[in-house]
Chain A
Amino acid sequence: MKRIALLAPWVLLAPGAALAHSAEAGGLVSGLSHPILGPDHVVAMVAVGLWGAILGRPALWALPVAFPLVMAFGGMLGIMGVPLPSVETAIALSGVVLGLLVAFAVRLPLVPACLIVGTFALFHGYAHGAELPASANPLAFAVGFVISTGALHLLGVGVGEATVARGKPILRTLGAAIALTGGAFLAGLA
């Protein structure tokens, strides 16, 4: 477990193509892979779970519950073609902000925490939703990306719960790695 935790920052920092917003959307498999193939999405989703682990209950489950609900609203805006400015910037910024919140183990009350996560969820959902109508099977695509996003949250919660009891250095390192990854996207380096 410790080895995996030590490897995680390198995996997160490893350069990868930002395929999430360029791949041709299709069905369930495309939907499942859409959030996973975009490192900017992956780091933000994992950060939501990690931050939940730091905040403890009820945020531990409230953040992964709030995210898909708001993300769906963002997806609806994307499907309907409602303009939303700076979507890619906001997605990259989500990695930076959520990463820093994890890195500094910031403890906020539940409502502000949900508001921060919900704001970013809107932009992540919009990015997925904007591609939905063009996809071959939009409903299967939607099912895929919701499940995939939720699974990444649960991964973050799992890693967070496994490491939070042993102190927070691992979590903080992961948070810093996430913030750096988000920063790389924000600066256009990734």
Chain B
Amino acid sequence: MRRAAGRAGRAGLLLLLGAGPAVAHGIPRNVGEGLAASGGPLLLPLLALGLMAVMARRREFVLAGAAGLLAGLILAPWIGPNADLLALAAGFACAVLTATGLPLAGPGHMALAALTGTLAGAALTGGHDPRTLPAGGLAGLALGSLVALAGPFALAPLLSRWPGPLRIGLRVAASWVAAISALALSLTFAGPLP
């Protein structure tokens, strides 16, 4: 069983790495264009990570994701053009973990948070070397994605006031994000996302 799972995992990874780049990226030239470019399908992994952080009530997830995001912007040329697929897959994992309601306190969750942020950061530049991007565009990308990542954590104070309904709401929202991420992931194999 474990061997089969390992084989499936390796095949999945090869499939992801072998697929064509999913999201067509224009180079953002200023802050406005950077903000707009950060609002596409790559919002999904960032939102999923934000939901996981607020569900676990762990600010460290946001910080790990943010650090990963900035690292990803720098490491983009080395991660390659399929970072968007991998980011969607990591976001899907975050959303599923949040939706299932399993405990989110393990070191693996922290690693997943950092990985999701890194892949999303790399995907935002479309594999371009950040030194070739205009500073305004890069700042817009970073700002937009950090807001998307940290936004859900604004719900954290409400979670202590209404833990029951809000936790249910977060899990339902996470299941929606997971569903959309899975569909986005499969759509990328059918052709580039708009």
Name B's interface SS. helix
Specify which of B174, B176, B182, B183 lies most central, judged by the most chain A CB atoms within 10 Å of its CB. Answer: B183
Counting contact residues on chain B (CB < 8 A from A), the size range is 20 to 34
Cα–Cα distance between A67 and B171 once the two chains are bound (Å) = 12
Q: Which of B109-117, B145-153, B184-192 contacts A (4 or more CB under 8 A)?
A: B184-192
Cβ contact within 8 Å between B180 and A80: no
Closest approach, in angstroms, between the C-beta of A56 and any C-beta of chain B? Answer: 13
A33: chain B residues within 8 A (beta carbon): none
Cβ contact within 8 Å between B172 and A69: no
A58's closest neighbor in chain B, by CB? B101
Cβ contact within 8 Å between B180 and A61: no
Mask of A141-162 contacts with B, CB within 8 angstroms, 1/0: 0110011001000100000000
Among A60, A65, A71, A138, point to the contact of B187 (Cβ < 8 A): A138
Given contacts A132-B187, A133-B187, is CB(A143)–CB(B168) below 8 Å? Answer: no
A79: chain B residues within 8 A (beta carbon): 183, 186-187, 190
Given contacts A68-B179, A72-B178, A146-B179, is CB(A61)–CB(B172) below 8 Å? Answer: yes
Cβ contact within 8 Å between A69 and B179: yes
Q: Is B194 engaged at the interface, CB distance under 8 Å to the other chain?
A: yes
CB within 8 Å of A: which of B135-194? 168, 171-172, 174-176, 178-180, 182-187, 189-191, 193-194
Given A129-B186, A150-B175, 11 new contacts (CB under 8 A): A60-B168, A61-B172, A71-B179, A72-B182, A75-B186, A76-B182, A76-B185, A76-B186, A139-B193, A143-B180, A146-B180
Q: Which residues of B contact A (CB under 8 A)?
A: 41, 96, 99-100, 168, 171-172, 174-176, 178-180, 182-187, 189-191, 193-194
Q: Which residues of A contact B (CB under 8 A)?
A: 60-61, 64-69, 71-73, 75-76, 79-80, 129, 132-133, 137-140, 142-143, 146-147, 150, 154
